[in-house]
Structure 1
């Protein structure tokens, strides 16, 4: 799994079988949707060779003939079946299957989410030994450890502390949404020129009030650049060195054209269109 941030907040509810994962997701989803959040969920089915489709059915025959994806539509729901399992997916491609949502809640996927610091985690445990095991292995933010059993602090009771789990989830989602919005305003080049070294860390510092947007070196020098590049309406952030290389290279090429005289202080606009 990659280290780039996800485009929406993601919370993974992880744990072993019969640890309460589905119960937690039911409660969280119900309460979050009541608060106005649009929630998408994804479940890892830990059964070798499992298919949602049935052999011999029309949709199965579509897929067997090479269709991918197959879309099944009834009077009450629409199902999109992709012939790609866990081995061909990562979290970022999974998010690409979701048209629009405020957050994604995962059930399971422990092997690929435990080490991803961009995912908030709610860990369901059955014993104190499981708690200690997950606590050692987890990377990134653990929103809570919880259990269907009464194991004592800091492990929350699923039945008695669902409100606490919900509030922690909302706090995480709102923080991540704010950080991702700030990140959209940054170059996302991880150039290493500011003290935070990576754009996401700077975005977190701005959110926490420890930094400002113009602490980004590329944003700070932007007004002084003599060259700007826009691709499909979005500005491409470049540093002064690249700006000057592009400026001199383009002016140098144009200076070879008949009837063109370059002084070096020109305003130049080049537009490349895909229109035929």
Structure 2
């Protein structure tokens, strides 16, 4: 499984880029997104799974013929989530959005840095352990070595994964 983390400040284009990648990546893809707001709704108001969760169930699983929805009413450590997704979904790619601090020291995660301006590049890359790729497709800063298209980004990720297995 190739793990890719998208790192950038709010409104830097992380979600937009991930959506674009989901349309062109070949293989199974799983996504983990950091939600910073408490009380964020994941289930549909009024449906049974929503009611069970609100009535005190610690975990609720909705099992349909075509998908499974798991809601656990407690935070789970990131590495446990990664292992669970790896086991359940068996993705070729795991895409992470919003886990800057958790992945910055990991060499098993390819970090895609999305600056909103050239001034943010240093701040976003400071202290970050390779591998990382700077994506300039939204900010237009065109630094040496940065990529500015989805196809270039995919090629860079695949090249790194092939070299580092």
CA distance in 2, matches of 1:28, 1:54: 27
Task: Indicate conservation of the 8 Å contact 1:9/1:119, yes or no.
Answer: yes
Q: How many residues align?
A: 161
CA distance in 2, matches of 1:120, 1:49: 30
Shift of 1:55: 6.0
What corresponds to 2:52 in structure 1? 62
| 1:109 corresponds to which of 73, 83, 99 | 99
| 1:42 corresponds to which of 32, 54, 67 | 32
Q: SS at 1:63's partner residue?
A: helix
Shift of 1:66: 4.7
CA distance in 1, matches of 2:64, 2:4: 30
Task: Indicate conservation of the 8 Å contact 1:122/1:146, yes or no.
Answer: no
Residue 131 in 1 paired to residue 121 in 2? yes
| 2:155 corresponds to which of 159, 167, 172 | 167
Residue 148 in 1 paired to residue 138 in 2? yes
Given the two structures, how large is their TM-score scaled by the length of structure 1?
Answer: 0.52
CA distance in 1, matches of 2:2, 2:66: 28
Shift of 1:164: 0.7
Gaps of 5+ in 1: 1-7, 179-276
Q: SS at 2:42's partner residue?
A: coil
Gaps of 5+ in 2: none
Task: Indicate conservation of the 8 Å contact 1:42/1:107, yes or no.
Answer: yes
Q: SS at 1:95's partner residue?
A: helix
Structure index of larger Rg:
1
CA distance in 2, matches of 1:18, 1:103: 23
Of 141-150 and 12-21, the range deviating more from structure 2: 141-150
CA distance in 2, matches of 1:128, 1:60: 44
More strand by share: 2
The 1:38–1:131 alpha-carbon spacing in structure 2 relative to 1, beyond 3 Å, is same
